[in-house]
């Protein structure tokens, strides 16, 4: 087991960091936070040209055929830059198309994702705010050559710019909840879809999406009828690892900038970095962030290799969430008053840490899953 990046991944990392420094400064982050779409076509076009959207798409569908670890490299740099674009949503929704889509679906959709023509959004969570199968109540009922979808999805990222929703529905009401879930690719311009933006602490473009008598052709079903939940579970594990990579990238920014600030900020006649308490905070921060990074790489590697990893993925997401949240809070304290303002970069990371901890499973829920895995 080698958790170090390959030469190709190191080159990808450098390319991504250089791109973020040149084309995605924090001034643009703030502009996109205020922009209702959170989208820049020129940025989207550039990442498509660099092949980032096609990393996990097989070569026969105009992709690169890369690995999850390749994505980890990209997500880490995106987290470091507080990147705002529907990249996360689109890539995560691509996974079940690759693994369970029909040949016709793959040939039609995957090349368009690869070249940046399509943006996808995951319509999974509902007002129940759970990622379990029992929380899915949005219905899909067969009607001749279509299915008719009714229900409300909540906390849906990037719905405002999506061309298609990957929508989780309930197609069977009896039996265990896990056995009645079906996925559909829903055209975002279909009649009956209403999108309402939600205000969040991280300005991360979440929405409420209401489906009212939305007709979807049967050919848009993704995977087998009533057997969509295993696809969702597979997607969620990848989403957790992608979010972990984002968080450790952002945590890297935090330790580097807090250390640099401690070396230049003078208080009470001395550099604040000369005080033992600040040194101890920075040492703990560096240690825990380093552990979080290796934990992320290990869990992602197991998932990439197809090894059992439910426990490891849950442990990683719970641990990294707590580390990122704890040390961005300390980062604000090290920077002092300016760290509490929206104008200072530290505030960007502090706000995102609070939101990221809840996505795809909060730490408490994930620790319960770890306990269940330990008991087996």
Task: State whether 138 and 247 are in the same domain.
Answer: no
Task: State whether 192 and 249 are in the same domain.
Answer: no
Task: State whether 249 and 364 are in the same domain.
Answer: yes
Q: Is the pTM of this model over 0.85?
A: yes
Residue 17 included in any domain: yes
Structure tokens belonging to residue 114: 């690869």
CATH number for the domain harbouring residue 132: 2.40.110.10
Q: Supply the pLDDT for residue 337.
A: 78
Task: State whether 250 and 154 are in the same domain.
Answer: no
Task: State whether 284 and 332 are in the same domain.
Answer: yes
Task: State whether 44 and 170 are in the same domain.
Answer: no
CA of residue 211 relative to chain centroid, distance: 23
Task: State whether 254 and 366 are in the same domain.
Answer: yes
End-of-domain residue from the set 182, 203, 226: 226
Q: Supply the pLDDT for residue 376.
A: 65
156 and 121 Cβ atoms separated by less than 8 Å:
yes
Residue 284 included in any domain: yes
Q: 178 Cβ partners below 8 Å, 6+ apart?
A: 133, 229
Task: State whether 34 and 155 are in the same domain.
Answer: no
Q: 324 Cβ partners below 8 Å, 6+ apart?
A: 247, 248, 250, 251, 292, 353, 356, 357
CATH number for the domain harbouring residue 253: 1.20.140.10
pLDDT tens per residue across span 306-340? 999 999 999 999 999 999 999 999 999 999 878 77
Segments in the chain below pLDDT 50: none
User: What is the count of structural domains for the chain?
Assistant: 3
Task: State whether 97 and 127 are in the same domain.
Answer: no
Q: 305 Cβ partners below 8 Å, 6+ apart?
A: none
From CA 165, how far away is CA 163, in angstroms rounded? 7
Q: Are strands 139-143 and 146-157 parallel, antiparallel or unpaired?
A: antiparallel
Q: Supply the pLDDT for residue 4.
A: 86
- Domain of residue 12: give its range: 7-117
Residue 1 included in any domain: no
End-of-domain residue from the set 89, 117, 145: 117
Task: State whether 217 and 168 are in the same domain.
Answer: yes
Distance between first and last Cα of the chain: 25
Q: Which among 123, 375, 363, 143 has a CA at the least distance from the CA of 247? A: 363
Cα-trace Rg, the chain = 21
Q: Supply the pLDDT for residue 339.
A: 79
End-of-domain residue from the set 85, 117, 149: 117
Residue 103 included in any domain: yes
């Amino acid at each position: 087991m080698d958790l170090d990046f390959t030469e190709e991944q190191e080159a990808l990392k450098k390319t991504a960091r250089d791109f973020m420094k040149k084309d995605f400064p924090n001034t643009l982050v703030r502009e996109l936070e205020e922009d209702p779409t959170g989208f820049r076509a020129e940025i989207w076009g550039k990442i498509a040209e660099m092949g980032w959207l096609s990393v996990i798409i097989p070569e026969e569908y105009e992709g690169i055929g890369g690995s999850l670890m390749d994505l980890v490299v990209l997500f880490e740099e995106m987290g470091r830059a507080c990147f705002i674009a529907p990249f996360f949503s689109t890539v995560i929704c691509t996974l079940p198309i690759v693994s369970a889509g029909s040949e016709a679906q793959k040939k039609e959709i995957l090349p368009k994702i690869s070249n940046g023509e399509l943006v996808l959004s995951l319509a999974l969570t509902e007002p129940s705010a759970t990622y379990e199968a029992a929380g899915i109540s949005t219905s899909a009922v067969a009607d001749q050559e279509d299915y008719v979808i009714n229900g409300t999805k909540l906390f849906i990222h990037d719905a405002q710019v999506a061309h298609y929703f990957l929508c989780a529905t309930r197609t069977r009401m009896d039996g265990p909840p896990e056995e009645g879930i079906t996925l559909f690719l829903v055209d975002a311009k279909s009649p009956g879809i209403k999108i309402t933006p939600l205000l969040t602490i991280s300005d991360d473009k979440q929405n409420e999406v209401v489906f009212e008598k939305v007709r979807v052709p049967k050919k848009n079903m993704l995977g087998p009828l009533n057997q969509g939940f295993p696809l969702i579970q597979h997607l969620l594990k990848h989403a957790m690892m992608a979010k972990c990579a984002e968080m450790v990238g952002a945590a890297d920014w935090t330790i580097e900038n807090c250390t640099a600030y401690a070396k230049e900020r003078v208080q009470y006649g001395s550099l604040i970095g000369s005080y033992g308490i600040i040194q101890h905070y920075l040492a703990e921060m560096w240690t825990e962030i380093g552990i979080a990074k290796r934990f992320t790489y290990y869990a992602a590697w197991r998932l990439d290799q197809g090894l059992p990893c439910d426990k490891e993925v849950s442990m990683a997401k719970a641990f990294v969430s707590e580390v990122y949240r704890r040390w961005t809070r300390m980062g604000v304290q090290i920077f002092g008053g300016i760290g509490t303002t929206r104008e200072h970069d530290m505030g960007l990371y502090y706000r995102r840490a609070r939101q990221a901890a809840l996505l795809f499973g909060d730490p408490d829920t994930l620790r319960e899953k770890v306990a269940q895995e330990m008991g087996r």
